[in-house]
């Protein structure tokens, strides 16, 4: 008898198969028991009919507790009522381990309780669907960049220098030296792009974010492409094609998962390049027209501002050319204005906020050196980075996409904590 996974059942209609599974849920009467089975690849209903399996197997099925593990044997039957297309007519059950008092029951639980039980909560249908969508976004990311001539290069996680504001750095010892956990691999990716042309990284980043929001994690994963000979506008074109590709891949390959999450897919179907662009200047004007009096030219946007701007469009929107004072030191100035830089944030629709930050990078040695000095950054620590501008410097651009923000948006998950298997939050290092 063949041992198969639930997801492959539609290819085995009419066959008797064996499946390793857990009991997700159960309903039973005196004559029939319906077992909701899950094996990690999917969920399926197992039907146990007393008259057919006999007293003993029926009693086993009826008495099974939630999350009991087993091998279940049965015939795969086509079933049009299930969204999955089949069910299992159970003929035998071999219990492997009987679970006791699984804490997450079908009733409603509060978020803190669920987070305390994250190691078990991951087994739920909802979390299964979110993790499948996360995985599809990762798969489609590799597909997109590999198909477009990029090489994956991995920047270090332990670093001596860091591009972003220092207050959010995690500090650690590196033997006798000080080291920091990476907040972004960008500076290294710029060096990588000078070697391999078009590169991308995918790895964890760490930020000691002191604010509790539904969009910030302490540890999150970033995709960071960097491209030599690519200027500002071309960088935006890569971003919109990439984001459209991952959205369309999820729509094509995660239908059941989106359905399970109740995601309104009509909001995703139109996500195709090009995306609209609005300048920072015009975004400020738009906010003033909408009655926001808590923001002025020169301020960074807060979540309500980003949401209001995003709501004026039905696709992700690029906000371009922010004031130089609120962006990092390495961004290329606008050719016609010295008060704004050639950068763009991509804001997701429906209030999910900034998913990408990107820019053209400064490629002139003297300009970069003076920017480092203005920001009081150590020329020693950045010597290698500065040297890139002395060895065949070229215009180059790149961006960072936050994986979990993107998962939250595409899956329609309200809080970012559900988009990573084990979230690290301000008040949570366990489980």
Closest of 73, 76, 77 to residue 92, by C-alpha: 73
Please say which residue, 46 or 400, places its beta carbon nearer to ligand ATP. 400
Q: Three-class SS of residue 319?
A: strand
Residues 301-360 that bind Mg ion (CB under 5 A): 354, 357
Phi, psi torsion values for 330, nearest 5 degrees: -90, 5
Max CA separation in the chain (angstroms): 85
Please say which residue, 140 or 222, places its beta carbon nearer to ligand ATP. 222
Query: Which residue, judged by CB position, is nearest to ligand ATP in the bound state?
Result: 402
* 397 prior amide bond cis, ω within 30: no
- Cα 351 vs. chain centroid, distance in angstroms? 16
Encode burial over 122-145: b for 16+ CB neighbours within 10 A, e otherwise: bbebebbbbbbbbebbbebbeebb
Q: Which of 402, 412, 417, 423 binds ligand ATP (CB under 6 A)?
A: 402
Tell me the HSE value of 204 on the side-chain side, using a 13 A CA sphere: 12
Q: Shortest gap between Cβ of 76 and ligand ATP (angstroms)? A: 42
Q: Shortest gap between Cβ of 402 and Mg ion (angstroms)? A: 9
- Cα 282 vs. chain centroid, distance in angstroms? 29
Closest of 175, 93, 145, 119 to residue 401, by C-alpha: 145
207 is a contact residue toward ligand ATP (CB under 6 A):
yes
Please say which residue, 196 or 425, places its beta carbon nearer to ligand ATP. 425
Phi, psi torsion values for 64, nearest 5 degrees: -70, 140
Q: Shortest gap between Cβ of 252 and ligand ATP (angstroms)? A: 23
Q: Which does 76 bind (CB under 5 to 8 A by kind): Mg ion, ligand ATP, none?
A: none
Cβ neighbourhood burial of 228 (10 Å; 0-12, 13-18, 19+): buried
* Distance between CA atoms of residues 410 and 355, nearest Å: 11
357 is a contact residue toward ligand ATP (CB under 6 A):
yes
Q: Which does 42 bind (CB under 5 to 8 A by kind): ligand ATP, Mg ion, none?
A: none
Per CB under 6 A, the segment of 9-17, 124-132, 245-253, 401-409 that binds ligand ATP is 401-409
Residues 238-297 that bind ligand ATP (CB under 6 A): none
Paired sense of beta strands 2-3 and 16-28, if any: parallel
Per CB under 6 A, the segment of 13-21, 138-146, 256-264, 353-361 that binds ligand ATP is 353-361
155 is a contact residue toward ligand ATP (CB under 6 A):
no
* Distance between CA atoms of residues 50 and 62, nearest Å: 10
Q: Which does 405 bind (CB under 5 to 8 A by kind): Mg ion, ligand ATP, none?
A: ligand ATP
Q: Which does 220 bind (CB under 5 to 8 A by kind): Mg ion, ligand ATP, none?
A: ligand ATP
Query: Which residue, judged by CB position, is nearest to Mg ion in the bound state?
Result: 357
Q: Which of 75, 209, 281, 282 binds ligand ATP (CB under 6 A)?
A: 209
Q: Which of 74, 155, 316, 400 binds ligand ATP (CB under 6 A)?
A: 400
* Distance between CA atoms of residues 49 and 28, nearest Å: 10
Q: Shortest gap between Cβ of 256 and ligand ATP (angstroms)? A: 27
Encode burial over 342-362: b for 16+ CB neighbours within 10 A, e otherwise: bbbbbbbbebbbbbbbbbbbb
- Where do contacts with Mg ion occur on this chain (CB under 5 A)? 354, 357
- Where do contacts with ligand ATP occur on this chain (CB under 6 A)? 164, 207, 209, 215-217, 220, 222, 353-357, 400, 402, 404-405
């Amino acid at each position: 008898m063949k041992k198969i996974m639930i997801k492959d059942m539609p290819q085995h209609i009419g066959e008797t198969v064996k499946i390793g599974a857990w009991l997700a849920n159960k309903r039973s009467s005196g004559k029939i028991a319906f077992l909701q089975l899950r094996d990690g690849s999917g969920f399926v209903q197992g039907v146990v009919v007393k008259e057919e399996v006999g007293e003993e197997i029926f009693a086993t099925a009826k008495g099974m507790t939630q999350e009991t593990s087993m091998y279940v044997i049965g015939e795969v039957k086509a079933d049009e009522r299930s969204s999955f297309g089949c069910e299992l007519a159970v003929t035998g059950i071999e219990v492997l381990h009987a679970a006791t008092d699984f804490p997450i029951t079908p009733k409603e639980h509060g978020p803190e309780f669920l987070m305390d039980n994250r190691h078990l909560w991951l087994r739920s249908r909802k979390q299964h669907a979110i993790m499948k969508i996360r995985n599809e976004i990762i798969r489609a990311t590799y597909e997109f960049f590999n198909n477009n001539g990029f090489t994956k290069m991995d920047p270090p996680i332990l670093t001596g220098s860091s591009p972003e504001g220092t207050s959010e750095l995690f500090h650690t010892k590196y033997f006798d030296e000080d080291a920091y956990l990476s907040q972004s691999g960008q500076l290294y990716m710029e060096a990588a792009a000078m070697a391999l042309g078009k590169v991308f990284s995918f790895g964890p980043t760490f930020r000691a974010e002191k604010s509790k929001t539904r969009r910030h994690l302490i540890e999150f994963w970033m995709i960071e492409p960097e491209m030599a000979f690519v200027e500002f506008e071309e960088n935006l074109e890569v971003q919109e094609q990439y984001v459209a590709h991952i959205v369309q891949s999820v729509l094509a390959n995660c239908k059941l998962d989106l359905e399970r999450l109740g995601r309104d897919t009509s909001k995703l179907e139109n996500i195709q390049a090009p995306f609209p662009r609005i300048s920072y200047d015009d975004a400020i004007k738009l906010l003033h027209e909408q009655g926001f009096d808590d923001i002025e030219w020169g301020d960074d946007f807060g979540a309500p501002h980003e949401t209001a701007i995003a709501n004026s469009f039905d696709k992700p929107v690029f906000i371009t050319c922010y004031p130089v004072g609120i962006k990092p030191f390495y961004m290329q100035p606008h050719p016609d204005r010295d008060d704004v830089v050639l950068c763009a944030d991509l804001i997701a629709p429906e209030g999910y906020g900034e998913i990408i930050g990107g820019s053209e990078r400064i490629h002139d040695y003297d300009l970069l050196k003076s920017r480092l000095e203005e920001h009081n950054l150590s020329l020693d620590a950045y010597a290698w980075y500065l040297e890139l501008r002395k060895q065949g410097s070229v215009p180059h651009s790149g961006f960072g996409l936050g994986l979990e923000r993107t998962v939250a948006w595409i899956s329609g998950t309200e809080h970012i904590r559900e988009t990573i298997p084990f979230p690290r939050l301000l008040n949570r290092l366990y489980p």
